[in-house]
Amino acid sequence: MVVFIPKYQQVARQLGDKLRLGLLAEGDKLPSVRTLSQELGVSINTVQQAYYYLEAEGLVEARPQSGYYARTQGQRQQRVPRRSAPQALPQQGSPLDLESILLRLMRQQREADWLPFSMSVPAPSLLPIPKLTRAFQQAQRNMPHAGIGYELMEGNAALRRQIARHALFWGGQLTDEEIITTEGCTGAMTLCLKTVTQPGDTVAVESPIYFGILQSILSLGLNVLELPTDPLTGIDLDVLETHMQAGQVQACLLVPNFSNPLGSCMPDAHKQRLVRLLERHQLPLIEDDLYGDLHFSAYRPRPCKAYDEQGWVLWCGSFSKTLAPGYRVGWVAPGRYYHALLQIKRYQAGFSPGITQQGIATFLANDRYELHLRRLRRTLTSNCQRYQLAIRTYFPKGTRISEPQGGFTLWVEVDPAVDTIALADKLAPFQISIMPGQLFSLQPQYTNCMRLSYGLPFNERVEWGLRQIGHCIHQQVAR
């Protein structure tokens, strides 16, 4: 498959490689848009788009009336939330009543007049609904008995072929016979947990980590080990290795590409080292690659599965964040655990709906998906930048904001005097919903943090909402 890379992304890759390799020092001024346009023989708009991409990655910064300047990792660390340092002990529960808080927030998300910054999904206006509808109509016409029969236990054959085909974008060499479809990515991860663990085992995760993952782990009678996590590069592998050597970890469940909520992305060297650790200790990694296709840079980051030679990585994904949240179409490539996982699916989960899988497969077969992804990525890149700018404008000085390289979410750290659960209650009369940081851990931490989704297109109402959040924070700090 030939992968088309737009010209501005090619320019961004060339400049980005120089910045990552340290060929440009901190504070070095980059060529002006006009100069670089002339040097490379491309349009001014192409260079501007390339600089926007690099700014989204945090590799350059724009200075008003001056131009673009190189930024180093050290500079980024001063602006992003602090590196997490959870207690190095497995947890079996949370000091918070997570269930009641989550139920309240989820009710708010579904109210038509609310601003759901708490909801990590794309707005319907960003999804190709008419094209999906036509794909489903075609699928229903082509399936035996209009798709009312049972599907294969391993999942729709056409969909599995398309998933394997799409994996070529990150260098995957999967076949359809290595893939099992599931009810969304959460369904995939739950099947994986049931396959590779027993009650009482300990699962290592990032911290902060998506609360749905915490709930899934706890519901199976498992313990959670939260690992120190860098907001840019992911988990501390030295700490994980120490726990592995002590026999304190039986499985890992990680989001290496654009973790939720931090947005961190593990460098390739870290992914390779992680896979070698798994092989040495013979431990499974459940890899949540839900956000991998939503990259802002010129190329998709490789999942850990790309370095897996012995089958210890169970690669999970879904179309819920890129195409159709409500269809709940996901998958897993479980490696050496294929037959064990398929058996658990047969006895505990059952058949996945065929019509939704065939509809997605039809959409993918017409090569519409990558075109849609390119448009979605451009919108999310712009959204991320505009949300970050609004937060820096309206939130108190000293606010730290994550710099995701993809995905949907910003992790925001404000003054320690602010309790974001109380802040969420204060915002309710304004019909604004946020996700408090304490929900992303089983330990008493992240009280002054929140997750904000930029899946809503930036407009005047979104800016008003962010300004209102900033105003309420200012009030709490001033007390």
Select 7-78's CATH number: 1.10.10.10, 1.20.1740.10, 3.40.605.10, 3.30.1490.190: 1.10.10.10
Give the SS3 label for residue 254: strand
| The pLDDT of residue 2 | 38
Query: Residues 315-363: pLDDT tens digits?
Result: 999 999 998 888 889 999 999 999 999 999 998 777 777 788 888 998 9
Select 128-366's CATH number: 3.40.640.10, 3.40.710.10, 3.40.50.620, 3.40.50.300: 3.40.640.10
Same fold, 98-120+374-478 and 128-366: no
Per the CB < 8 A criterion, the answer to whether 401 and 384 are in contact is no
Q: What is the mean pLDDT of residues 265-292?
A: 95
CATH class given for the domain over 98-120+374-478: alpha beta
Confidence of residue 74 (pLDDT cuts 50, 70, 90): low
What's the start-to-end Cα distance of the chain, in Å? Answer: 60
| The pLDDT of residue 77 | 57
Q: Which residue has the higher pLDDT, 227 or 6?
A: 227
d(CA 396, CA 473): 7
Per the CB < 8 A criterion, the answer to whether 49 and 37 are in contact is no
- The encoded tokens of residue 375 equal 């448009």
| The pLDDT of residue 298 | 72
| The pLDDT of residue 146 | 61
Per the CB < 8 A criterion, the answer to whether 206 and 254 are in contact is yes
| The pLDDT of residue 86 | 78
Q: Which residue has the higher pLDDT, 359 or 58?
A: 359
Pairing of strands 180-183, 329-333: antiparallel
Whether residue 23 is predicted with pLDDT greater than 90 in this model: the reply is no
Per the CB < 8 A criterion, the answer to whether 272 and 305 are in contact is no
Nearest C-alpha neighbor of 433 from the set 96, 113, 100:
113
Query: Residues 260-273: pLDDT tens digits?
Result: 999 999 999 899 99
Domain boundaries, the chain: 7-78, 98-120+374-478, 128-366
d(CA 49, CA 1): 26
- Mean pLDDT of the chain, nearest integer: 87
Nearest C-alpha neighbor of 315 from the set 142, 155, 179:
179
Give the SS3 label for residue 205: strand
d(CA 255, CA 287): 6
Q: For 126-272, list the strands marked E by DSSP.
A: 180-183, 202-205, 223-226, 229-230, 234-235, 251-254
| The pLDDT of residue 126 | 92
| The pLDDT of residue 296 | 86
Nearest C-alpha neighbor of 172 from the set 26, 326, 303, 39:
303
Backbone angles phi, psi at 379, to 5 degrees: -65, -45
